[in-house]
Amino acid sequence: MQTADIRQRWLDFFAQRGHTVVPSASLVSDDPTLMFTVAGMVPFVPYLTGVVPAPFPRATSVQKCIRTNDIEEVGRTPRHGTFFQMNGNFSFGDYFKEGAIGYAWELLTSSESDGGYGFDERDLWVTVYKDDDEAIDLWKKIAGLPDERIQRLDKDTNYWSTGQPGPAGPCSEIFFDRGPAYGVDGGPATDDDRYVEIWNLVFMQYLIEDVRSKTDFRIVGELPKKNIDTGMGLERVAFLKQGVDNMYEIDQVRPVLDAAAELSGRRYGADHEDDVRMRVIADHVRSSLMLMSDGVAPSNEGRGYILRRLLRRSIRAMRLLGVDGPTFGTLFGASRDAMKAAYPEVEHDYGQISQLALGEEETFLRTLSAGTSILDLAVGSTKEAGSTALPGDTAFLLHDTYGFPIELTLEMADEAGLSVDRAAFDTLMAEQRSRAKADAKSKKKALADLSVYADLRAKGETVFTGYTDLTTESTVLGLLVGGRPVAVASAGQTAEVVLAETSLYAEAGGQAADQGLIVGDGYELKVLDVQKPVKGLISHTVEVVSGEVAAGDRATTLVDESYRRGATQAHSGTHVIHAALRQVLGPNAHQSGSFNKAGYLRLDFGWNSALSAETRSEIEEISNNAVRDNLEVVTREMPLAEAKELGAMALFGEKYGDTVRVVDIGGPWSRELCAGTHVRTSAEIGMINLIGESSVGSTNRRVESLVGLDAFRRFAAERALVSELTTNLKTPQDQLVDRVNELVQSLKTAEKRIAQYEARALGDRIPSIAEKAARVGQTRLVAEDLGELGSGDDLRMLATGVREKLGTDAAVVALTAVVKSRPVAIVATNPAAREQGLKAGALAKQMAGVLGGGGGGKDDLAQGGGQDVQAIPAALEAVRRAVA
């Protein structure tokens, strides 16, 4: 039975029994506490917990999921997959235990000809929570299961909760017995691979509080509405129904495995480690394909980092199979063909997906060889030094310079029999993050526990009036301070305010939230942020400027008209530039992200090379021609299918509902799905000034632009600058470029001469420094502080020059200097000194430790540095003692 057939039978079965079929949500979770959709029930959590009223009494879905916590088990067990599909059926206060158990048993054991899965009843076992006698009685009544095939287990396996106060309940799991060839007898309680869990039924019936752990909480009563949440592992059922040993051999995954085998010339089934590598490749390529189809792009942060790790682990596994060249074109094509029947979007978006994958592969293959060489040398040095842990600074270098995820370094070190100094690596990473600029969103506070919005959402959806009105009369539905509901918020406090209606735009679709005020009788609130914490609800983060605001008060929302005008100019400008990009570069220049606020926009798009000055100028001119032509901007709401038939562009990675808003600029010239605010005609954008173009990854570029008055002010500032230059240089404007180039060339010539004079001056110092050599045992040692120098290169030149001056007798040169306010140390040794065991790398590292930093290098020449200039004398004394 093919995987697509198993999927369709599930949906048909529950649809015929009154369940609303809900399409899979994106792998990118809406839950702010989750990076990905990790389980089939995640999209339904707001309904299961009562935060949002369920729009249907019962539902069913086949949900795409990603989990990476078991990534090390991928390929080594029959059932661990990074990407998997969870079949679910849900009841929201409708049927309960008897209905859930009845449906599960009927679907599993009905014959294939009757639309079921045709499992033999004798192969099925169930587990229940140890105190759930009701479920045990129902299994006996409905399924006729004997006592020996119903096992009672404790809370750690058979009790569900969110880990927070709220709904919880026992669960019952269904297992398939693969037979004695796969393990010991004894049922699921043995925790053996022989018994494969295929379905979990969660009976959400209690309210819990005082949650101290997964198994330690207090049940305070039964829920007024009891819910059902179930999940059946699609891949697990597929490998059982297809008669293969594991999920990597099912029809949706095996083609990638076979492609990896063919590319490598290795036979699947011939070698255990090779088999594991092929399974890893098959899983990770499919997972990456599905992540990219939902708009995730490789990066060094968040979801993009997880994707990059999967891609690079795949490349690494192919290299271990003996393939050094590119393979993603073949592997991703095989995965696309295996998945497109269930998910047509992977074929529709394959151009964008393959561009991302091939670009990442090309980039990593270039760095993998160099990084592997660095790692091999470090492994050799570590073993030679008698250590079992690779230094943390080596792991950081591989991560920072060569793009090695730390997990890859851990794996490669482990293959060499070493661990990694993870604490040192983490310290260096923390230091790097503290130096980096904070992300724009870091200023936003974490959203409160979403359960606090339940009562507010139950009062209905917030009506957004801001498309047509900048001022709206409304009512305060509720207030939160510090994430907790309050009756009143007073002057000086920061609070969240939820209104029945609002004209203030909540951040979405790349457009920043509106600025403005909320006012009422006796109070004024300054709007700091506007967000959508749960579907259908708009929350305003405000500073109470004066007075007191209370739930139930009348309120008026006032949008800052100037800010909104600038934001609409920027958002419409984004659409215009996107259309111009596609006109100049072609359809592959597809928007992959954007941000716009009053007067400014940035747009990321799929492209793998920098734009020339001529191309940028052409895009800017087309954009401004569209502004000049005063194109009409029309917005319409319509069903998603109708919008796509009209050719409206759905942006890669964005999520859309059944009804969408289509924005046309100049009719079909620019037609996109967009919920943002826009100008009425393109002329209102005013002006577009492209101010930057840069790389944001191997397959993505970014353009930045100012619009409206901000664009004009930039042009005016540049005009003033040109005027000042022509005056100061006494050069006509049309000759300005040549004159500046002439001055730059003169400056370079002068700098070259100065550098020659400085090098000669440094060389003149070598004899006097060498004269300070002191005899320490059989070694001549120079240990001197040279004061301030321009660069570490100057210090290195002096050290090697002094070493040459000292001749062939054993000699060590240890010099320090202050370079840009920080202490630097250089150690140079000659062959005779090294024969005595005096190695520059070890001596430099010792000096750097005294200076409060790190260092090392080769045996003949090494460098270190630190933070403490006052410690230079102690560092020189340390090297004297070491040589002695």
Residue 678 known to bind ligand:
yes
Beta bridge partners of 635: 663
Q: Which single residue is written with the structure tokens 């929302």?
A: 557
Q: Distance between CA 502 and CA 517 in Å, rounded?
A: 11
Instruction: For residue 569, give Cα distances in angstroms to 676, 681, 708, 729.
Output: 11, 10, 7, 38
In 154-191, beta strands by DSSP E: 159-161, 166-177
Q: CB of 22 within 8 A of CB of 59?
A: yes
Q: What angle do CA 425, 877, 869 make, to 5 degrees?
A: 60
Per the rule left: phi > 0, alpha: psi between -120 and 50, beta: everything else, 156 is alpha
Q: Which single residue is written with the structure tokens 């409060």?
A: 852
Picking from 184, 207, 204, the residue whose alpha carbon sits closest to that of residue 194 is: 184
Q: Are strands 861-865 and 855-857 parallel, antiparallel or unpaired?
A: antiparallel
Q: Would you tell me the crossing angle of helices 406-415 and 350-384 to the nearest 10 degrees? A: 50
Distance of CA 859 to the CA centre of its chain: 41
Beta bridge partners of 191: none
Show the tokens assigned to 456. 């507010």
| CB atoms near residue 34 (< 10 Å) | 13
Show the tokens assigned to 292. 């990219």
Per the rule left: phi > 0, alpha: psi between -120 and 50, beta: everything else, 652 is beta
Q: Which residues of 223-247 are buried (b: 16+ CB within 10 A; e: fewer)?
A: bebbbbbbbbbbbbbbbbbbebebb
DSSP string, 54-94: -SSSEEEEEEEEE--TTGGGTTTSSS--SEEEEEEEEEESS
Instruction: For residue 719, give Cα distances in angstroms to 402, 621, 743.
Output: 42, 19, 21
DSSP 378: H
Beta bridge partners of 172: 128, 201
| CB atoms near residue 106 (< 10 Å) | 16
Picking from 201, 337, 322, the residue whose alpha carbon sits closest to that of residue 273 is: 322
Picking from 704, 635, 701, 708, the residue whose alpha carbon sits closest to that of residue 673 is: 635
| CB atoms near residue 347 (< 10 Å) | 15
Q: Distance between CA 616 and CA 604 in Å, rounded?
A: 14
Q: Distance between CA 477 and CA 460 in Å, rounded?
A: 10
Instruction: Compute the residue count for the chain.
Output: 884
For 638, counting Cβ atoms within 10 Å of its Cβ (0-12 exposed, 13-18 middle, 19+ buried), the class is middle
Picking from 219, 220, 221, 204, the residue whose alpha carbon sits closest to that of residue 93 is: 204
CA dihedral 548, 554, 560, 565 (to 10 degrees): 160
Q: What angle do CA 828, 832, 837 make, to 5 degrees?
A: 75
Q: Distance between CA 12 and CA 14 in Å, rounded?
A: 6
Q: Distance between CA 303 and CA 297 in Å, rounded?
A: 8
SS (H, E, C) 582-609: HHHHCCCCCEEEEEEECCEEEEEEECCC
Annotated binding site for Zn(2+): 571, 575, 674, 678
Specify binding-site residues: 571, 575, 674, 678
